[in-house]
Structure 1
Amino acid sequence: MKVLVVGGGGREHTLVWKLAQSPRVDRIYSAPGNPGIKNLATCVDISVNDINRLADFAKKNNIDLTIVGPEAPLVAGIVDEFESRGLGIFGPSKAAAQIEGSKVFSKDLMKKYKIPTADYRVFERAQDAADYINTAQMPLVVKAEGLAAGKGVIIAHDRDTAKEAVKSIMIDRAFGESGSRIVIEEYLEGPEVTVLAFCDGKVAVPMVSSRDHKRVFDNNEGPNTGGMGAVSPAPAYTLELAKTVEHDIIQRTVDAMASEGIPFKGILYTGLMLTKSGPKVLEYNCRFGDPETQVVIPRLKTDLVDIVESVINGNLLNTKIEWKQEAAVCVVIASGGYPGSYETGKPIRGLADAEKNGSIVFHAGTALKNGEIVTAGGRVLGVTALGKDVQDARELVYKSVSKIYFDGMHYRKDIGL
């Protein structure tokens, strides 16, 4: 079969890498892809947001299955467009993708169906939000209503920071139209865990757990990023917790969406805080996480194509999904200055050496220039290693990371500690 993967980051490189192992897949395309993906698939120069051109390409090239990586095309309705043309595609509809596209929608859904989450208030005017901050208990979490590439969440430990966050989102429009409304939540404490789940509209099957490291510097310091690394399994996530989360949160969410008349098919990403009073939802995403995919998918034994087809056909319950017992660690190597401003076009050295011990280097923000691979984004590479436990995988991955060099590169030294 022919498969198209929409996207060009580390998550999409991981999906292409896994699909390339399937005996059922003859040819893979990626739009727009990246230099790492190019070794496994044909890269097509079409933007992830150009839904009509992507559908035209899939139709013209007889693509059997399209898998969508990023959230923006899902929220914009790529699945509805492909399905209206009779094209096979994996992901939620535009209506179901609201679970990520609108934080107000997701918070209201949780409240209605008694899914545990932080208390919250919604504001449409900056002044009303500022007035609330004057009397609210600190710390608070301020969130842009819409998509903000993983950066629209500000944790405010004092009132001035909270008000500055409101100004940045609602008045300065740091995230554009995503800041037309904001959600202000109570601050939750505890270890964070991410659980991705395959969902076919009726049934949810959770994947192995993972933990993302959002802050840019060691010891969880500095501003939030799209993710500086991940581990799987998440250290604090016990078998007992997993059963609670599956029953009280993930399956309940899928049931809630079905009750609302908008069945959720695809990947449900649930970001959790393991609080003293039990697990609570921090956020939902409507797709594979990045960099969580880079530690979860390398642990998947089952052919990804088989699972994806069972989701599309509403037959997930009858599909056996198996996982490797090994742990995985991914370290993200970023450009100097990220998540603020950074330079691109820096030549990257040591990529082949980094894979000699069995690690995998997933490209996230790279480009080809005059025959060499150079930096082209904030998060440049994700290096993943499997090991008998997290400590073993950590040792392997940092050996690989030490072989890579580009001017200004930085990465966290404490992923998996």
Structure 2
Amino acid sequence: MGIKVLIIGSGAREHAVAASLLRGPSVEEVTVAPGNLGMTRDGIRITRLSTANHSALIDFVKDNDYDWVFVGPEVPLIEGIVDDFRNAGIKAFGPSKAAAQIEGSKDFAKQLMLRHGIPTSAYATFDDLEPARQYVLDHGAPIVIKADGLAAGKGVTVAMDVDTALDALNDIFVDHRFGRAGAKVVIEDFLQGEEFSLMCFAHGTDFWPMPIAQDHKRAYDGDKGPNTGGMGAYSPVPQIGDDVVATAIDTIIRPVLQAMDEEGMPFTGVLYAGLIATEDGPKVIEFNARFGDPETEVVLPRLTSDLGKGFDDILNDRTPTFTWDADSATLGVILASDGYPTTPVAGAAIPAIATDDHTHVYYAGVKQRPVEQRSSTEGPAVDGFTVKVTPNQDPYRADQQEQAQVRPSRDDLVSASGRVMLVATTAPTIAEAYRRVYELLDGLDTTGMFYRHDIGAKALKAVDGLNGQDADTDTSH
């Protein structure tokens, strides 16, 4: 009998992990808690259990005989959900609460790197506005202002002038924009270079790197506008050489895992390193204690081995095997609600997109169309689901979902939050993946949503440069 897996989370990242697990032969069943309705378009089961209700999730795992749990988002990891699962005798793929501090506090991560000589930018930490303001005035710009805690990717300001830096400090300390996450501020020297994301599967001091990716944080074309959770990504990254990646593994990934092990908080799970290739070599911008989003959605389609078996091997202290398609590229673009990231407007109709081995759609902020807008042929709404339920059935229980038919029709989803979905294509080259994904997107009705039109443009210029072509090659579509 195959492996049964419960995934914790609700976004496009968790959708991509679920889809990848189901591609392999070892996993028989995947349920996502709480998931989202878009996942059910791929036949993925969901159950409406809150990620904050650890005891209910533990009971659910035991009642439904899941073999292990995969935890996607950072918040439950930092709240200690993996510790709670393990204390209940349940195997969980993810770091402990102690190890997850590497993402939960930027100051913690900086101190760890400082103690162990891991390359990163110079910094200072403050818990009060006035000394932070004086530090900015003394050091000038460009400078980077970061809320210490979790801020959904929006707590960083790369200030190219002093006024912008001071405004960012006011947002954090005066307006309390990030709540408790802004109780402290980390101020860093600005680093110049090409950014990239290096993720690895880790177990103690052992690790297995994934292909690198490049994220696009700014909301608008040309890297303009506010920071977001990410507007798209691609993998591989041709402008980052293999030698740079090898150096990053030797000077960053290996030492940080050894450091965490030595300090009594060994890391098991996915370690994400946000890096920048500077003239002095790769340096750390940030660490995350989980898969990146949207990097996951463009890296996992390139996996050629069985992800479920790899996770199962790690959880059972066996040596896993992970293999990747070196002759393919995946490029993904986020569709976001109008007004994102500051004031997203929900309710946009979600277009139906046909998927295949080369076209991937991963859903995030979606919900069911309001009842007054649905056709009369759809079933009743149950807490946001369209389901057909027989007496005594719970439509959220995984063992009853086949009967309950938690399957939205192809046209009954609307946007619910900021990042709505990611559309990706896999092709032999970045250029072909770029052409395909934008050809697809430009043919959709995306009223009420927007997307960047230049995801991967840097890679196309880098490839043209490597091929001796004009670096200003047209990347229009």
TM-score, normalised with respect to structure 2: 0.85
Could you tell me how far apart the structure 1 residues matched to 2:131 and 2:255 are? 33
> What SS does the aligned partner of 1:219 have?
coil
SS at match of 1:57: helix
- Tell me the residue number matched to 2:253: 250
Letter in 1 for 2:321: K
RMSD: 1.3
CA displacement 1:7-63 (0-9 Å, x = unmatched): 111101101111111222222111111122113322111122222221221122111
- Residue 364 (structure 1) aligned with residue 367 (structure 2): no
Residue 351 of structure 1 aligns to a residue whose secondary structure is coil
Alpha-carbon distance in 1 for matches of 2:168, 2:445: 35
Deviations 1:298-319 (A, max 9, x none): 001111112112322343xx32
CA distance in 1, matches of 2:357, 2:15: 19
Q: What SS is found at the alignment partner of 2:37? A: coil
**Residues 293-302 or 23-32, more deviating:** 23-32
Give the secondary-structure state (helix, strand or coil) at the position aligned to 1:2.
strand
Deviation at 1:404, TM superposition (A): 2.6
Alpha carbons 1:329, 1:397 under 8 Å: kept: yes
Offset, 1:356: 6.5
1:322 aligns with 2:338: no
3-state DSSP of counterpart to 2:269 = strand
Structure 1: distance between partners of 2:150 and 2:73:
11
Aligned: 1:281 with 2:284 = yes
Q: CA deviation at 1:357?
A: 8.7
**Aligned-partner SS, 2:23:** coil
Counterpart residue identity of residue 323, structure 2: E
Alignment partner of 1:195: what SS? Answer: strand
Query: Counterpart of 1:18 in structure 2: which amino acid?
Result: S
Match of residue 399 from structure 1: 439
Q: Which residue identity is paired with 2:278?
A: T
Q: State the partner residue of 1:378.
A: 418
Larger radius of gyration: 2
How far apart, CA to CA, are the structure 2 residues paired with 1:37 and 1:219? 31
Q: Which amino acid aligns with 2:4?
A: K
2:358 and 2:427 in contact (8 A); partners too: no
What's the counterpart of residue 472 of structure 2? Answer: none
Which stretch of the first structure deviates more once superposed, 184-193 or 54-63? 54-63
Q: How far apart, in 1, do the equivalents of 2:81 and 2:191 lie?
A: 34
Task: Give 3-state SS (helix, strand or coil) of 1:45's partner.
Answer: coil
Partner of 1:6: 8
2: distance between equivalents of 1:356 and 1:270?
A: 30
**Rounded Cα–Cα distance in structure 2 between residues aligned with 1:234 and 1:253:** 23
Equivalent of 1:338, from 329, 334, 340?
340
Aligned-partner residue type, residue 367 of structure 1: K
Which residue is 2:454 aligned to? 414
Letter in 2 for 1:368: Q
* Aligned residue type for 1:395: R
2:263 is aligned with 1:223: no
What CA distance in whole angstroms lies between the structure 2 residues aligned with 1:23 and 1:132?
A: 56
Deviates more, 1:26-35 or 1:396-405: 396-405
Total equivalences in the alignment: 413
In the alignment, is residue 91 of structure 1 matched against residue 131 of structure 2? no
Tell me, what secondary structure is at the counterpart of 1:133? Answer: helix
2:333, 2:451 within 8 Å by CA — same for their partners in 1?
yes
SS of the equivalent of 2:125 reads strand
Match of residue 112, structure 2, among 109, 114, 117: 109
Distance 2:31 2:351 in 1: 26
Task: After TM superposition, list the pairs within 5 Å mapping 1:39-50 onto structure 2.
Answer: 39-50=42-53
Residues 2-401 of structure 1 correspond to what in structure 2 (within 5 A)?
A: 2-38=4-40, 39-315=42-318, 318-325=319-326, 326-352=328-354, 355=355, 358-369=358-369, 370=374, 372-401=412-441
Distance 1:356 1:287, change over 3 A: closer
Measure the CA separation in 2 of the matches of 1:120 and 1:311. 35
Partner Cα distance (1:389, 1:126) in 2: 48
| 1:207 to 1:357, Cα distance in 2 relative to 1, 3 A | closer
Deviations 1:76-105 (A, max 9, x none): 000000000001110000000000001111
Secondary structure of the equivalent of 2:275? strand
Contact 1:200 1:310 in 2 (8 A): no
Q: Distance in 2 between matches of 1:373 and 1:24?
A: 31
CA distance in 1, matches of 2:246, 2:24: 30
Decide whether the 8 Å contact of 2:314 with 2:320 is kept in 1.
Answer: no
Q: Distance in 1 between matches of 2:57 and 2:347?
A: 28
Structure 1 length as normaliser, TM-score?
0.96
In 2: Cα distance, 1:86 partner to 1:154 partner: 42
CA distance in 1, matches of 2:180, 2:196: 29
CA contact (8 A) 1:20 1:40 kept: no
Distance 1:285 1:207 in 2: 15
Q: CA deviation at 1:401?
A: 1.4
CA contact (8 A) 2:36 2:367 kept: yes
Q: Distance in 1 between matches of 2:345 and 2:26?
A: 41
Separation (CA, whole Å) in 2 of partners of 1:131 and 1:304: 50
Separation of aligned partners in 1, 2:243 and 2:358: 33
In structure 2, runs of 5+ residues without a counterpart are 375-408, 458-477
Q: Is the 8 A contact 2:140 2:162 kept in 1?
A: no
**Within 1, Cα distance between the matches of 2:317 and 2:162?**
48
CA offset at residue 343 of structure 1?
1.5
Q: Is the alpha carbon distance of 1:350 and 1:26 closer, same or farther for their aligned partners in structure 2, counting shifts above 3 Å?
A: closer
Contact 1:28 1:40 in 2 (8 A): no
Counterpart of 2:404 in structure 1 is none
Q: In 2, distance between residues paired with 1:309 and 1:253?
A: 24
User: Counterpart of 1:26 in 2: which secondary structure?
Assistant: strand
Q: Is the 8 A contact 2:77 2:100 kept in 1?
A: yes
| 8 A contact 1:193–1:273 mirrored in 2 | yes
Q: What is the SS of the residue equivalent to 1:36?
A: helix
- Identify which range, 149-158 or 34-43, moves more after superposition: 34-43
